[in-house]
Amino acid sequence: MKSRPRHFRFRRSRFLYSAQPPCTEIVAMQVTLLGVGLMGRPMGRRLCEAGWPLTVWNRTRAKAEQLAPHGARVADTAADAVRDAEVVITMLEHGEAVEHVLFDLGVAEALRPGALVIDMSSIKPSQAREHARRLAERGIAHLDAPVSGGTVGAESGTLAIMAGGTAQDFERARPLFALLGRATHVGPHGAGQLAKLANQMIVGITIGAVSEALLLAARGGADMAKVREAIRGGFAESRILEVHGQRIVQQDFAKRAALSVQLKDMRNALDTAAELGVDAPITRLFEQLYASASEHGFADLDHSALFCELARRNSPP
């Protein structure tokens, strides 16, 4: 058999992981992916390329069919997709979509007892806990495991994965997570979504800080690219300054992570803060800024397009 990427080799129905000697034998599980969008597509491709049996479903079938050349089986319905699955990954737009797919499209009923649902969507912690409770009533395990790293991380297998649920289920999912990125078990059900909200608060606010700072520099006559270069390596250095700062300099706002999704995450953070009795004035301010950007036509651009909203506000009358 030919070698598999990232140190995996297929041997009958098992894999040998050779990143660290001695090799550890890993059983390839039967996986179903529900949701083949910007993130789901590269994640599914990585599973296929590693030789894991994968079934996929998407509301728009044409998106799911993009994984067929990589070896995935395309199912006609979500319920059919999960009938033989040991692990089901959901990568959907929001909590309502996850609930609809799991409980209105027959997925929960079609799953075998003992199956594991890994919700890698970004939803509210309260929704994740409720989904876990309803699945547990059917003998189905659940992890909420949202990710950070965007399409670049999904393609390269370097996603940051924040998992909430039991330690036993996390260990069960670890071989799968290893194909997609770096996973951390952060607590019980809902804790993964709390970690993702914290991540998105930091990302959204930092994009705003980088945007406003570079706009100020440009309006004062400085070269934005040179300013970004000058402050990198100092205390202002960050992944946002590196990646999103470069997008701002190049005025490249093609969607990698949609501004509308960033707005959704900021609103989820505020709703969760209210549930926990936490005052979050900085997040509230940036929710208003992202909402304004959405209203002015930037919703379907990358979230770094918050720069465009700030530039619009500072345009000559």
CB 154 within 8 A of CB 42: yes
| 3-state DSSP assignment of residue 27 | strand
What residues pair up with 257 in beta bridges, in sequence order?
A: none
CB 255 within 8 A of CB 304: no
The catalytic position among 196, 226, 255, 264 is 196
Residue at token pair 């400085």: 222
CB 32 within 8 A of CB 54: yes
Cα(105)–Cα(103) distance, integer angstroms: 6
Residue at token pair 């929001």: 94
Annotated active-site residue 196? The verdict is: yes
Distance of CA 118 to the CA centre of its chain: 12
Six-digit token pair at 191? 């804790």
Q: Where are the beta strands (DSSP E) in 129-281?
A: 141-144, 147-148, 159-164, 181-187
Residues with a known catalytic role? 196
